[in-house]
Amino acid sequence: MKTNPSPQHGAAIALVQLLEEFADLPLLYWQISNHESFRGDLYGFTTAPDPRPIVTAWADALGASVAESTFQYADEPHVQFTVETVWRDVRVRIILSCPASVLAETAVAA
């Protein structure tokens, strides 16, 4: 066994445990950061017409809250939903976004 494992090793193990423990949650694309100042972090992404149910499910499972912010992309307002927490000593950050117009359409349909 290595005495000095890769800084990403703990995040990789935490990701396996996370996916086993929450296998029933919506699928995300996961990335383990290799940036020196963020090494060992887990980042989750996905695309969905309305990402709120997905981000809420993950936030509830991780015992975290969802932060909402807006930004411009291609001259169109977008909404970003972020969950940031520490799980098993590994920082987890889930970021999902969509055009604001999609959320407005969903609200009208409801």
Per the prediction, the chain carries an average pLDDT of: 86
102, part of any domain: yes
Q: What are the helix (H) ranges across the chain?
A: 9-21, 52-62, 100-109
Determine the residue type at 46: T
Q: What is the count of structural domains for the chain?
A: 1
* CB-based contacts of 69, cutoff 8 Å, min separation 6: 79, 80, 82
Distance CA 18, CA 10 (A): 12
Residue 66 has pLDDT above 90, yes or no: yes
* CB-based contacts of 89, cutoff 8 Å, min separation 6: 10, 14
2, part of any domain: no
29, part of any domain: yes
The domain of 50 spans 9-109
Structure tokens at 49: 């017409």
pLDDT, tens digit, 9 for 90 and up, residues 70-103: 999 999 999 999 999 998 888 899 999 999 998 8
Of the candidates 65, 64, 53, 67, the residue with the CA atom closest to the CA atom of residue 103: 53
